Structure 1
Amino acid sequence: MKKISKYILLFVAAIAVTSCDDYLDVQPVGRVIPETLEQYRAVITKAYHAYPEHKSMTAVRTDELVIDEFGDEINLYKDIFIWKDTNPDANTLPFQYGALYNVIFYTNVIINDAPGKLNNSPERNQLLGEAYALRALAYFDLVNLFGKPYNPSTSGSDKGVPLALEIDLEQVFVPQPVEVVYNQVLSDLNKAGEFINVESQVKGINYRFSKVALYSLESRVYLYLQQWQKSLDAANKALTIKSELVDLKATPVLTTKYDSKESILALEDGYTVGLKRLFYASPDLIGAYTRTTDLRFPLYFSANGSRFRIQKGGNDDQRCSFRTSELYLTKAETSLKLNNIADAKSTILKFIENRYTTAGYTQLESDVTAMNAADLTTFILAERQREFAAEGQRWFDLRRTSQKQIVHSFNGEDFTLQQNDPRYTIIYPAEARLNNPNL
């Protein structure tokens, strides 16, 4: 208990929610040792508020962007863009390894300390469930940034990331195998499922985990683990609670907004202001769309001379970690993996009916109906690329699928990320390696 109190005194800046009307309307109120439900809620709010924008940085490494070589902040991103991970420019932004462990620290305060202080109640259980779910999300992101891509035959020996599950000043942080990290993620998801009792969060506090958000995270985790049936089951459980899709024919709006009827968990900004200023959509990304029939194109992109700026992201109202569209695309992919091609086709058609003009959908309906399994797989993954453009999902999707070759041009020189390149795993930031020789 002495160690816990010392850590809390040093690091826990309590955050109080002052209004549910505005998204993330929170204010710091000082430093406390949490004792009450309200104070522990302040700790988890701080954890949510501290969740980093690392996924936006991964977009720089993908085939989604090209860099403005005359941009003011070019030194922050250029070495990420050309995958120069060893000895990058001193100004290069590091991937937010420490920030994710900071979030984990806050969740550990709740998981390890709150059960002994708080009386059993639905509110206390919901709080504990959110802490377990948020810790699971943080470890999932960490292992997909700094651990090798999941491979069922080698995950037991592939290097992952350290696990910190207790508040211990003397703990030695040694990277665990990828399999061990994923097992911890699954354990936390199971514990979260025992406690979370809110089916879906109301607008304004939908950055918090709920049952539908938990099922969405489970579906994503099992998809990456190639456990197709479990991923499909979790997606179906989420869709039972929330299944709305925005029909862009009737309502041409960005579905990434926190108040969209598709929103499930509005936590992360997938494309930050800095990226919006320095990058354009790549020809590969623009070429993925049929501009005349895909209703997402004019919503996602705006012409800037001969190039296109990305309109997503850059505002708190576009924070988006999970939305219903992902559930449909995961359901289609996993159904196909389970050799249920009829369900895969019906699911993807239900989704794209809301994303294309009537004429475009009619043609695609005919095309999809005639597809074999290989062509349908290509189409579903292409829909993921189109739907989640500049939302921070592309890098993780490339890691778990093709690990394709990517070529970026900078100052008249081509730089290549080879297929299955070791740089599909990001090395630990220099500061982290300096502070922890075990990395």
Structure 2
Amino acid sequence: MKKFSKYIVLFVTAIAVTSCDDYLDITPVGRVMPETLEQYRAVLTQGYITYPEHKSLTALRTDELTMNEFADEINVYKDIYIWKDTNPDRITTTFQYQDLYSAIFYTNVIINEATPKLAVSEERNQLIGEAYALRAMAYFDLVNLFGKPYNAATAASDKGVPLALEIDLEQAFVPQSVEVIYNQIISDTQEAKKLINLNTQTAGKNYRFSKAALYSLESRIYLYQQQWQKSLDAANNALAINNNLVDLKATSVFATKYDSKESILALEDGYINGLKGTSYASPDLIAAYSKTTDLRFPLYFLASGSRYRIQKGGNDDQKCSFRTSELYLTKAETSLQLNNISDAKTTVLSFIKNRYTAAAYTQLEIDVNGMNTADLTNFILEERRREFAVEGQRWFDLRRTSQKQIVHTFNGEDFTLMQNDPRYTIIYPANARLNNPNL
């Protein structure tokens, strides 16, 4: 293993896992050599399985949670909670940098090996298209964890993450700029659009990319780049396939469930069980809701003494990466940024009608229609906060918007993340830095 010591440990886990599959022949340079469409599908399925639940950890860094200081696993999470990224406790869990690159390894196998080897068919195209889409999503998450927030004026010089597009363990993994990574992400989504031919995936298989999921990813990418029209167009493309919303007045059910009418891509758990036992909803998060008129409040939260437990997440049936709610709120935000305040109001009202009591909506409709641009912007962002609580969206929304000051209290001591704090960009995990001096 010495020859890998100067490189990032990207693919070791992937090779270790796949080598036990009897149809995979791992050559000395670590190349996976499946032959059939079914075997390549199994490789990509492993890529989906490998995709980590890192977004749960981002919730610790936000204003969404407060910690249970007496929980058994508190030391696993506390240094993330207090933003102690330099020299954290050795038992602190780390952001899954390597797992994201392991998922990329599997996509590279499909893109580089299956493309020339498999006969052209709809199934083959769908498979390769999914690989491009999953690779785009992995790099999008990597650059939004470990790279600076996208800024068109500085992206060409801002440090991003290493780019690995080939199956080559000997290459030097040097971080590329944020601009280079975003260009690759967009290139991958464009390739995926040429190949993916399923509008949707059936429940149970909707951890896989479809056209609706790809458009949703594309809309999120362009939103973070502040390319408002492109983000709006992609959201509309996804909504043309699925525009269903769960009406909480009719049924109190999590819209995050994989078989929900809102589900588009059911891959990630935004709030894992390990965190459920060590955290509560923060007072800030609870204060964001009307306890009596917001129908999400009794669904999302359960009183526990003077605090509230969070009921979302922690179950396989609540895997959720993209759902239609995000498309509505993205459409509202981008319409407003494009100075179409009428469309923004219509869109956000069509969404919140499904989230509040009928009486509350009547008043909200009046309020929203009377809002100016600044007030409506704030209302849309607060709706994102309420709707996507502990789904892994809050940290990224804070990074791309206000980067506000946050104070966490632990064992009677206050810890502060200042506004525009450099720690809004997470440093590479220690084991990655140890194995790759280029980082």
Contact 1:12 1:106 survives alignment (8 Å): no
Counterpart residue number, 1:311 = 311
Counterpart residue number, 1:22 = none
Q: Distance in 2 between matches of 1:47 and 1:259?
A: 22
Counterpart residue number, 1:361 = 361
The amino acid that maps onto 2:372 is: N
Question: Equivalences for 1:99-248 in 2 at 5 Å?
Answer: 99-248=99-248
Counterpart residue number, 1:341 = 341
Counterpart residue number, 1:260 = 260
Contact 1:14 1:39 survives alignment (8 Å): no
**CA positional deviation for 1:10:** 3.8
Contact 1:12 1:43 survives alignment (8 Å): no
Q: Distance in 1 between matches of 2:414 and 2:322?
A: 35
Q: Normalization by structure 1: what TM-score?
A: 0.94
**CA positional deviation for 1:7:** 8.9
SS of aligned partner of 1:407: strand
Contact 1:266 1:321 survives alignment (8 Å): yes
Unaligned runs of 5+ in 2: 1-10, 26-32
SS of aligned partner of 1:409: strand
**CA positional deviation for 1:115:** 1.3
SS of aligned partner of 1:193: helix
Contact 1:235 1:327 survives alignment (8 Å): yes
SS of aligned partner of 1:221: helix
Q: Distance in 2 between matches of 1:371 and 1:157?
A: 39
Counterpart residue number, 2:18 = 13
Q: Distance in 1 between matches of 2:82 and 2:17?
A: 37
Q: Distance in 1 between matches of 2:63 and 2:353?
A: 26
SS of aligned partner of 2:274: helix
The amino acid that maps onto 1:346 is: T
**CA positional deviation for 1:172:** 0.5
Q: Does 1:352 align with 2:346?
A: no
Deviations 1:271-319 (A, max 9, x none): 0001100000000000000111000000100010110000011111000
**CA positional deviation for 1:9:** 9.8
The amino acid that maps onto 1:368 is: V
Counterpart residue number, 1:275 = 275
Q: Distance in 2 between matches of 1:161 and 1:150?
A: 13
Q: Normalization by structure 2: what TM-score?
A: 0.94
Q: Distance in 1 between matches of 2:175 and 2:220?
A: 23
Q: Does 1:40 align with 2:35?
A: no
Identity of aligned residues (%): 75
SS of aligned partner of 1:342: helix
Contact 2:105 2:167 survives alignment (8 Å): yes
SS of aligned partner of 2:277: helix
Q: Distance in 2 between matches of 1:301 and 1:164?
A: 41
**CA positional deviation for 1:30:** 6.5
Question: Equivalences for 1:385-396 in 2 at 5 Å?
Answer: 385-396=385-396
Counterpart residue number, 1:80 = 80
Counterpart residue number, 1:423 = 423
**CA positional deviation for 1:108:** 0.2
What is the root-mean-square deviation in Å for CA atoms of aligned residues? 1.5
The amino acid that maps onto 2:157 is: S
Give aligned pairs, total.
422
Deviations 1:230-253 (A, max 9, x none): 000000000000000010000110
Contact 2:50 2:99 survives alignment (8 Å): yes
**CA positional deviation for 1:11:** 4.3
Question: Equivalences for 1:293-308 in 2 at 5 Å?
Answer: 293-308=293-308
Q: Distance in 1 between matches of 2:19 and 2:270?
A: 26
Q: Distance in 1 between matches of 2:82 and 2:261?
A: 38
**CA positional deviation for 1:116:** 1.7
Deviations 1:358-389 (A, max 9, x none): 01101110100000000000000000000000
Q: Distance in 2 between matches of 1:159 and 1:359?
A: 50
SS of aligned partner of 1:176: strand
SS of aligned partner of 1:260: coil
SS of aligned partner of 2:407: strand
Counterpart residue number, 2:403 = 403
SS of aligned partner of 1:233: helix
**CA positional deviation for 1:266:** 0.1
Q: Does 1:65 align with 2:65?
A: yes
SS of aligned partner of 1:317: helix
Contact 1:14 1:46 survives alignment (8 Å): no
Contact 1:265 1:322 survives alignment (8 Å): yes
The amino acid that maps onto 2:243 is: S
Q: Does 1:96 align with 2:96?
A: yes
